[in-house]
Structure 1
Amino acid sequence: MDYYVETLFNSISFFDYSRNLLKDVEHEISIEEENYILNVGQEQYIEHLFDKFRLEPLKILEEDISQEVIEESVSNQDTLSPLSLPGVFGTTKQEVVLFYIPVYGDIELLKIQPSTYTFSPPRAAIKQNELIYKVILFNRGSEYALQQLNIFKTDVNQMMNNLNKDIIEYNEKVVNKIRNVFLARKNKILERHNLAASLNIPFKKRESVPKTFAISTPKIKRKITIKPQVELQPFEPDPTLDESTYYDILKIINDMGKAFERNPSVYSNKGEEDLRDHFLMQLEPNYEGSATGETFNKKGKTDILLRHAGNNAFVGECKFWKGEKSFLSTIDQLLGYLTWRDSKTAVIMFVKNKDFTQTLNVAKSAIKNHKNYVRFNGEQDETWLNYTFNLPGDPNKEIQLALMMYHTVDVD
């Protein structure tokens, strides 16, 4: 068979290699059309570029290593053969063991020199997704071949671990690079056209709020993603709640939800509407009306709405947990209320199941299967989780969705 033995981890340095990739990120974003940058779903575009430019850490697939014994013409000057004589050139037929060592990840990275390296790196052939390591037997048995293989694997794993540290650091850097370059270009375009990315809804925090309840109040393998498609119409900013107001609303809800858990004798045996009204009693006094004089309003049986100019800026949907299917339907119902880019939302689940942790894990797993799920943005606490979704029918309109779950057991 044809193969070429070369020195591994010995070409371009990882520093130079990763620097070139980061330059490619800048170039890719710089050549996008302006209306594409303005209209594309930000998180989906960032995820697409991250999937394109991230690197997979490398790993030897030990359980899939195979071997082949062949006869091969071997130069007596390129071996450790005890038969080699100084100044005498030629070849000899020898038994050779070829070890085929599959590698997970981009095997071409085995040519890159990590930031921590040795001056005598291992040698092997690289072919498709395998390393081919050759051991010349010179009448020595299989024990010798396995000994040489183990030495080789030790050397490769050490260098691979060094390279993987560089890869992990690069992956953290590249996602921030993508986000920063994307936002910088978007903001530059908006400034040139004298636009804003969004029009903040003018909700004003009340200075003095009566405290109905004794709870704190707010203080002032590798998945390949398809590049998001956008109709390149002129960009128009959408109204949105600013992040601090959104957090304040969620903080009030969370404090009230924790109160439900701490005082089951007070809040047990109540229906969805009763529990929803406790949230409203805390929310309504905290914010003055919008420009149209509208403030928190009820819609339907279980909704918490913050409205502005006749549209829903914040929607909180309250439901009892009735299983995964019902939970996903609740998200569908909530998304059906929304029209604006970057709308702020919450799904508030009351859980009567005794095994609350199991229910929480089911919800965390199920939500990622929703057709409009984009990404997980982290948790505020163990039962307050933040996500990005897109609107049905428009994948480039992204909204924020908080999942908030509370253990509301009945008390006899």
Structure 2
Amino acid sequence: MTSGDRLFSLMELATFLNHQLHRIAEEVAALNEDVLLSSPERDVCEELEERFRLEPLVLDRDGITAGSVKEGFATVRQFGEELRIRQTVVTILVRFEGELDLFHMRPSTYTNSPPVAATDGDALDGGLEIEWMGPVDHDPQQVRLALDSRLDEIQRWIDWSTAQVVLFNEAATLKIAAEVQARKTRLLANRNLQEALGFPMRERHDAATYSVPIKRKKIVPKRGTASSPFQPEPALADAHYEAALEVLRNQRNALERAPGTSAKMGEEEIRNLLLIGLNSHFEGQAAGEVFNNTGKTDILIRVDDRHIFIGECKIWKGPKTIADTVDQLLGYLTWRDTKAALLLFIRSGAPGDVMAKAVARFREHPNYKRDGRHSTDERHDFVFHANGDASREIKMAFLPFHLPKDPQGS
């Protein structure tokens, strides 16, 4: 594009964005079945979001640089003749971030006089070149005002473009999640149909998960048949995981509201009280033990001698408490979509300060992937990957208990 080309004029931005939304379904449909079934859904969505997300244009008006002032000529007609008038040419380079192509697309809101600038060329490299041409006896202040006016007009068009891009990014995120979930559901239904038909199938390896359902809430692992086309791994369903955490949260609140009682309780007494509360809501069958304690601090659900839910009770003794406990949990939990909870007893210090330090240490762990759904003073969720396998995710809830110890107690 040469100096003086009109911006935002080659195609309609709305047309391009609609085309991109339609492409999402095609991209999801093209994903390999085994990869989709064996990868964490959030990872698949994030990869697609990264591919489709558009970065809005942002001008760096604080980093403007000017080129050398040069001589130029303007051609005018006077009394039927063309005359060349000597002019002064001032050129500035404005860096920008975002998608270069957005400078070529007309937003839905626009005027009939798009701004003029140059956006490519070896000398521009990530910049927008704006040129001013005027009389030789120019006034520097007037030149500056003219250039600022041009920049303001470009910014107005960028704002119109950005409004559409932001809405597109939000719509793309929702569409990606819906398409991935829908296709994953269809694939699992197809695999189950293959199994129900009863015909021998070629052996394949798929890492889908299925849930350990809860009744009163009874925990019972589902079992695949010998002819199952893939081997799903036991996991605690999200609804039951949330139910267990809700029980723990309610017990935490009750303990915090009775400081005179909780202050006199030792670690094991608090843990055993939590176990009693959990087991009053959940029960198991022969296939697996429900909530019990092994060693000194574990609260767990176990299926086939594997832990699919671990709750670790720890007293805060500094940031190293978090690092050590996360390592401990990750050592236990190696099955896909396994759930965990770290119950932190804050017996001294300001709870807000302790929680801030704890959350920071969670995020510093090398297996940390992202924050989870909850992020409040009552509960903070994290997603980690299993040791040695970034595709195997472990959900970990952090529940702080503010239980100051009775200074007169034992």
Which residue is 2:93 aligned to?
100
Which residue is 1:377 aligned to?
372
Separation of aligned partners in 1, 2:275 and 2:264: 19
Which residue is 2:108 aligned to?
115
Which residue is 2:40 aligned to?
41
Partner of 1:123: helix, strand, or coil? coil
Matching residue's letter, 2:117: A
Which residue is 2:130 aligned to?
133
Separation of aligned partners in 1, 2:51 and 2:22: 14
The gaps in structure 1 that reach 5 residues or longer are: 78-83, 208-233
1:189 aligned residue (184, 187, 190):
187
Deviates more, 1:277-286 or 1:177-186: 177-186
Which residue is 1:201 aligned to?
212
Tell me, yes or no, if the aligned pair for 2:74 and 2:87 is still in contact at 8 Å: no
Which residue is 2:28 aligned to?
29
Matching residue's letter, 2:274: F
Question: C-alpha offsets along residues 147-180 of structure 1, whole Å, 9 cap, x if unaligned?
Answer: 0122122212222222222222112111222222
Q: State the Cα distance separating 1:271 from its structure 2 match.
A: 4.1
2:307 aligned residue (296, 303, 312):
312
Aligned residues: 379
TM-score, structure 2 as length reference: 0.84
Which residue is 1:249 aligned to?
244
Going from structure 1 to structure 2, the CA distance change for 1:184 and 1:363 (only over 3 Å counts) comes to: same
Q: Determine whether 1:396 maps to 2:391.
A: yes
Q: Determine whether 1:165 maps to 2:178.
A: no
Which residue is 2:316 aligned to?
321
Q: Determine whether 1:356 maps to 2:355.
A: no
Separation of aligned partners in 2, 1:302 and 1:88: 96
Partner of 2:317: helix, strand, or coil? coil
Deviates more, 1:351-360 or 1:243-252: 351-360
Q: State the Cα distance separating 1:89 from its structure 2 match.
A: 4.0
Partner of 1:368: helix, strand, or coil? helix
Separation of aligned partners in 2, 1:316 and 1:142: 70
1:336 aligned residue (326, 331, 340):
331
Q: State the Cα distance separating 1:206 from its structure 2 match.
A: 5.1
Q: State the Cα distance separating 1:22 from its structure 2 match.
A: 2.4
Indicate the percent of aligned positions where both proteins have the same amino acid.
Answer: 30
Which residue is 2:16 aligned to?
17
Deviates more, 1:280-289 or 1:363-372: 363-372
Separation of aligned partners in 1, 2:172 and 2:364: 26
Q: State the Cα distance separating 1:68 from its structure 2 match.
A: 2.0
Separation of aligned partners in 2, 1:150 and 1:62: 10
2:290 aligned residue (295, 304, 310):
295
Q: State the Cα distance separating 1:126 from its structure 2 match.
A: 0.9
Partner of 1:76: helix, strand, or coil? strand
The gaps in structure 2 that reach 5 residues or longer are: 196-207, 219-228
Question: C-alpha offsets along residues 217-239 of structure 1, whole Å, 9 cap, x if unaligned?
Answer: xxxxxxxxxxxxxxxxx853122
Matching residue's letter, 1:349: L
Separation of aligned partners in 2, 1:290 and 1:390: 30
Question: C-alpha offsets along residues 191-211 of structure 1, whole Å, 9 cap, x if unaligned?
Answer: 22217943321332259xxxx
